Chains A and B, each alone.
Chain A
């Protein structure tokens, strides 16, 4: 009775940053230019390697490609970890394992850009509470990946819901919470073994009630108001601009052969903010109210950066044109509202409104270990409410809310999010339409490797934590 769901904890204590992809920006991170400072991320590399395996041919399915197309009686061929072909009557290599897709639907792997799995893992005991470095309003120096516990049992239940890629964010207690990490949803002893190779990091920022509650009301320090929040971000950006300028000048001097060039003192917090100003770290911002999102967009112009996505964005429907005009995605729930004042105006058509604005970028996100298990159902609810309001969205478009659009906001749209040849073979085979309460993922492939099979639960190993516990035996429904 006193238990809060993960979502509420996250909503109450964590702030989502905004990460908006620049329109038409390709996802693969560019090699660090000479002017880049502190390429520290290279010291924490991904060790993830997709296992080699035989090709897979999924035959005769309804395929939502993620590009806006729906194909009937279509085949999808996965070779060497990549989508090789999508079409009808494809021929399979002799070595291919063939999956009968009759009556089934195939979609790109689902992507959740707002998760706290691993940083707020199960069991939610104090010893596992690693999601909010709530000791200062700006902790841009912390990296979520250094909190991720790969044994969180929630990764596996998310996998059963078709999640193949997820962004783990710090919480929203702080104005600037720290760097995010993008993970492949594969079992691993280390987080490096899950880390999405060469994915840009994100920066989590938070608007509104959480920072002012945690600091002003809770700790009696700055900020205690929304105007304090804005002044807080701006002071950080101003500092980062100066730091960036000093570092770039230093590098210029070095390049010019100046012997007396003195390196500015390294600052981990400003390293992150400077990289964000340079567009190397994508900004994901937790923001509920329309007026606050508009203020943040002005601030992004003042300091010359781009917001990749507003997260939660329960009032996005009030400014869907403004968001579309700025090329900013909104990551939303279907129907959560009212758990705090800034979520009082939530409506279940929110996502459909954002989608309806020309150029709009709607994303389904979870912020919840329950919601992440059924992002497809979140979208399905919006389809029903949207249709009733005259905003009809076909399934082939709606699937983009949980595949192509989140991929774009992560700067990964050239690698995941659609079933196009050459992309990573992250694929879900559903027992029917995914836009149903009865939908279940039958098979989940990540880079062409079968990672979840509903008929063979042992394919996906359970967390170390559950070994030797009176956990429920798994029965195939």
Chain B
């Protein structure tokens, strides 16, 4: 029954058999005859089988034999990819936009710089946004707190979360710069670098601090920031203007920060420098308008040009609102339509973010021995007419239900009753 359910996961009737809470244990599953995009050196495997046992990919190859106990999914050539990345944002820390009581994504302590703020502890694995996003084939996302009025240019930290509700171990630090944040730095983007330098000095040379000095950081903040100065933990800086990106590259080199550039609408103009520095770019593939003077160079070809220059690209919407992150693969498809190789666009939704945020051992690729984190698609995963047919996170088949399918099915009955009258 279960295998049939996976097979016809699209059908509301069948999917209703697997509701959240009943699917918490990893069954042995055999996916037969899939086109497997491994995102590893193995590339694309045609007519491949995947055996998932004890939550891991036990076997991956052609003409495998299914154990008798395994639930069988007939892929019939359909694509299987690693689970997709949902971008950086507020998944599980914003239930409803515009409702402060349902939002936890920003710290507004009157301008204090608090890098020790870790938004991950506010994460709600029961947010209905997770279920909706899982149906879109998303299995992991990076929490990134916001910089808002009343906060500071250091927004704080966030973890990678998996859409089964797990919070992964690595943390990244988020800094906002450019015109978006200049009001939090005295009204000038030059103030942003001044404040960052001061904060770093407080960490590196605490002995120079006198009791009455105006300090930016608390002792806990200094401790947190110290962890990001060694170049091992990821620091994400949000800037768009080409000159700001150059400033950030130079600042990061000087201070030994392991940065990634987020936003990056004009990154294509700085592509050789980014490639030389080995700095990844996290961009919105749908940005092509001069929303601000920082983005006059925005173009749908940003991703294609960066990729061609050898820069590692990761997709994330500029808007961190979590509800429609399932749209991100549409953005990847648009990037392909504007010159990015298809394989590179898929990597920007899978392997690249998993590597960038330190979870490549569990997300972003399909590899023997790894936890099974994968999606079976009805067709080309970057195509808007394609839907996810089955989703596995850490080896567990996810229920293909969400609050939205509940609403759909309730009113579908009403629609059909009306049509029948």
Contacts and interface: CB of A to CB of B under 8 A. Distances in A.
Interface of A: 1-6, 8, 12, 122-125, 153-154, 157, 209, 213, 317-318, 320-321, 335-341, 344-349, 353, 356-358, 369-370, 373-374, 377, 380-381, 383-385, 388-390, 435-440, 465-466, 469-472, 475, 477
7 tightest Cβ-Cβ pairs between the two chains A and B? A437-B333, A472-B299, A338-B323, A339-B97, A340-B98, A384-B385, A1-B238
Interface size class, chain B: 35 or more
Q: From DSSP, what is the main secondary structure of chain A's interface residues?
A: loop
B296 A471 contact: yes
Contacts of B322: 338
Contacts of B338: 477
A381 B384 contact: yes
Nearest to B404: A347
Given A2-B147, A338-B323, A320 B96 contact: no
B176 A1 contact: yes
Contact of B292 (A3, A5, A317): A3
Given A123-B292, A340-B98, 19 more contacts: A2-B181, A5-B319, A122-B290, A318-B414, A321-B418, A335-B324, A337-B323, A341-B99, A347-B408, A356-B419, A380-B384, A380-B385, A381-B384, A385-B387, A389-B12, A436-B384, A437-B330, A469-B290, A472-B298
Contact of A470 (B296, B378, B387): B296
19 contacts: A1-B146, A8-B319, A122-B291, A123-B295, A317-B408, A317-B415, A318-B414, A336-B323, A341-B96, A347-B407, A374-B334, A384-B378, A388-B10, A435-B384, A436-B383, A470-B296, A470-B297, A472-B298, A472-B299
Contacts of B411: 317-318, 353
Contacts of B155: 1
Interface of B: 10, 12, 95-99, 129, 132, 144, 146-148, 155, 174, 176, 180-181, 238, 242, 262-263, 266, 268-269, 286, 288-293, 295-299, 301-302, 317-324, 326-327, 330, 333-334, 336-339, 378, 382-387, 404, 407-408, 411-412, 414-415, 418-419
Contacts of B263: 1
Q: From DSSP, what is the main secondary structure of chain B's interface residues?
A: loop
A80 to B, nearest CB: 34
B290 A341 contact: no
Nearest to B151: A2
B142 to A, nearest CB: 12
A3 B319 contact: yes
A76 B383 CA distance: 29
Contact of B146 (A2, A209, A381, A471): A2
Nearest to B181: A2
A272 to B, nearest CB: 29
A437 B408 contact: no
A377 B323 contact: no
B2 to A, nearest CB: 20
A465 B290 CA distance: 10
B80 to A, nearest CB: 18
A5 B320 CA distance: 10
A20 B147 CA distance: 41
Contact of A358 (B96, B269, B419): B419
A306 B333 CA distance: 41
A358 B421 CA distance: 11
Given A1-B320, A8-B321, A122 B289 contact: yes
A440 B98 contact: no
A477 B408 contact: no
Contacts of A335: 324, 326-327
Nearest to A378: B384
Given A122-B290, A125-B292, A335-B327, A341 B98 contact: yes
Given A3-B319, A435-B385, A153 B418 contact: no
